[in-house]
Amino acid sequence: MHILITGGAGFIGSHLADALLDRGDSVAILDDLSTGSFENIQHLQENPRFSFAIEALRNSLALDRLASQADAIVHLAAAVGVQLVVKHPTETIETNVLGAHAVLRIARRYRCHTLIASTSEVYGKSAAAPFSEDDDLLLGPPSRSRWGYAASKLLDEFLGLAAHREFGLPVTITRFFNTVGPRQTGRYGMVVPRFVNQALRGEPVTVFGDGSQSRCFCHVSDVVRALAALLDRPAVTAGQIYNIGSDHEVTIIDLAEQVIERADSTSSIRYIPYQEAYAPGFEDMRRRVPDITKIRAAIGWSPICSLAETLDDIIACEREKISG
């Protein structure tokens, strides 16, 4: 297959490009490098089945040219990280909604199977964990900017499923639950790389809130396996939504303690109130746990990497960066 990845120079996209090329596919990447990095894909330049364009999705000519050669599109380009979402809400909403609209319009032209990356944030403040794809969603008020991100990604889902129903476009929606691994940056508030870097430098590990909130962390290699398998099964997965994530739950304070232990660090833990870390009135969710029954039944996927293995992998990579 020939696959176009928008946002392919980012954390997940670059790992997906690696995996698809390794199995013999051809890959093109479109990325404006606003949050991605050329370093993530530099090692792929010599591969004759790889190409890239440093362009924004709003460049319709570049998007059209790359999509015209593609069998499938994986749309990963989006605003990322809580800090970016809170500080730049207009950019967040416009990037997500207009980007998905542009991709779906081009996908219709060339009949590309399209995977749209969504997020567990769309479950909002629901307390009905573990979250299933058909659950009702409960978002907070528009006066709280973080809900703009969830609403924009939910609109992406509606656009994708509408294109499937109205035009027969094979569209698959994936909801990511805290994907982590090498190449992820802590620049936008991502918790695991931030903890790891603080621990390796002997700095206090900063926990936002009281640390009792819980999350599930999935190694990027497991997520990439799921995406590749979904690409191979458009007849099964088109018009469907799938949770992708680990269902192993851990509190943030326990995560911090595990990072410190596995990094053999002397760091202490420092608690920072949400209003200091983000903005007054910031809301966080107590739990984020996926029900992965649906994707397991559809393609036989479940995570392989344990949290300990995942943390060790990230720590080793970050330690090499610091020492190198």
Tell me which residues are annotated as active site. Answer: 149
The answer to whether 264 and 257 are in contact (CB under 8 A) is no
Cβ-based burial of 75 (10 A; exposed 0-12, middle 13-18, buried ≥19): buried
The Cα 279–Cα 271 span in angstroms is: 16
157: which 2 tokens? 């889902």
125: which 2 tokens? 């403040």
Sign of CA dihedral 66, 233, 222, 22: negative
Residues 6+ apart with CB under 8 A from 94: none
The Cα 268–Cα 285 span in angstroms is: 25
The answer to whether 100 and 138 are in contact (CB under 8 A) is no
The answer to whether 219 and 303 are in contact (CB under 8 A) is yes
Where helices occur in 80-145 by DSSP H, the ranges are 82-87, 89-110
The answer to whether 24 and 48 are in contact (CB under 8 A) is no
Which residue bears the tokens 């509190």? 251
Which residue bears the tokens 């590749």? 228
Secondary structure of residue 320 in the 3-state scheme:
helix
Q: What is the CA radius of gyration of the chain?
A: 19
Where helices occur in 111-237 by DSSP H, the ranges are 146-167, 191-200, 220-231, 234-237
Residues 6+ apart with CB under 8 A from 203: 267
The Cα 97–Cα 78 span in angstroms is: 9
